[in-house]
């Protein structure tokens, strides 16, 4: 979460105000997780929705993926201009769309694998989040390297997808390496993002600007968790 000068104020919140900001951030994240889980389960059990997503060559899935990217970019780039209500609406819509796209995991993997992957993700996410909240070491220097690593993973993943489509064969070993790298990167990002949120909480007041930052921080944590979860599922999940 970029801490622009617009939100840097000479304000020293009480410990209670700091906790309220952190509580709102994690509360928004938890809400998104619940919405996505409900939408994923409902979509997986609805043949009509599955047909819209995966019919006609899977164009529905690609449309949803593009819509998700647009929403995340809109929230990130327009955070100063969006009203709090609009930002919350975009955030909830993103959680709904991501839940629908996640419905495929209930078709591909058995429920036990999904449960284990979720539990493992929760442990890893929780541990690194606690580390980010409690460590005295500044993690700011991690940001540059993590962004570079994330861009690298995205590029390799796209190339991997193209090669798989051309050769008609999955590149299994490369898939495994990408999943391992993704787990490592987003686990580190969890600690990094958590510390940024903590620094924001140390200046937070009750203004709309900081309420929007709480929502944006929740989005970052949500993305960290989901990417860890999906990567663990690809690595260890047992397919139906």
> pLDDT tens across 133-170, in order?
999 999 998 988 998 998 898 888 878 777 776 666 66
Return the pLDDT at 4.
Answer: 45
Q: Which residue has the higher pLDDT, 9 or 27?
A: 27
Instruction: Band the pLDDT of 175: cuts 50, 70, 90.
Output: confident
CA distance 138 to 196: 10
CA distance 72 to 90: 8
Beta bridge partners of 109: 239
Going by C-alpha positions, the residue among 188, 190, 184, 212 that lies closest to residue 200 is: 212
The stretch 112-128 carries a mean pLDDT of 95
Compute, in degrees rounded to 10, the torsion defined by CA atoms 206, 209, 212, 214: -50
Return the pLDDT at 72.
Answer: 92
pTM score, whole prediction: 0.88
Q: Which residue has the higher pLDDT, 12 or 211?
A: 211
CA distance 153 to 37: 26
Q: Is 171 a residue whose pLDDT tops 90? A: no
The stretch 19-39 carries a mean pLDDT of 95
> Helix 84-101 to helix 15-44 angle, to the nearest 10 degrees?
40
């Amino acid at each position: 979460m970029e801490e622009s000068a617009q939100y840097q104020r000479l304000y020293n919140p009480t410990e209670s105000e700091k906790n309220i900001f952190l509580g709102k951030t994690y509360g928004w994240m938890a809400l998104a997780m619940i919405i996505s889980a409900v939408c994923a389960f409902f979509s997986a059990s609805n043949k009509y929705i599955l047909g819209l997503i995966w019919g006609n060559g899977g164009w529905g899935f690609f449309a949803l993926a593009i819509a998700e990217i647009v929403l995340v970019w809109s929230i990130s780039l327009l955070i100063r201009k969006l009203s709090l209500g609009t930002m919350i609406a975009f955030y909830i819509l993103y959680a709904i769309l991501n839940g629908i796209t996640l419905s495929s995991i209930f078709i591909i993997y058995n429920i036990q694998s999904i449960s284990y992957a979720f539990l493992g993700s929760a442990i890893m996410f929780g541990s690194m989040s606690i580390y980010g909240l409690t460590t005295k070491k500044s993690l700011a220097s991690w940001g540059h390297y993590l962004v570079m690593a994330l861009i690298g993973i995205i590029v390799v993943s796209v190339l991997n997808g193209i090669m798989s489509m051309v050769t008609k064969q999955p590149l299994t070993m490369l898939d495994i390496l990408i999943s391992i790298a993704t787990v490592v990167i987003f686990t580190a990002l969890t600690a990094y993002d958590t510390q940024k949120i903590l620094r924001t909480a140390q200046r937070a007041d009750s203004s709309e600007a900081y309420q929007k930052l709480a929502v944006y921080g929740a989005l970052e944590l949500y993305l960290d968790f989901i990417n860890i979860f999906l990567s663990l599922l690809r690595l260890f999940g047992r397919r139906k």
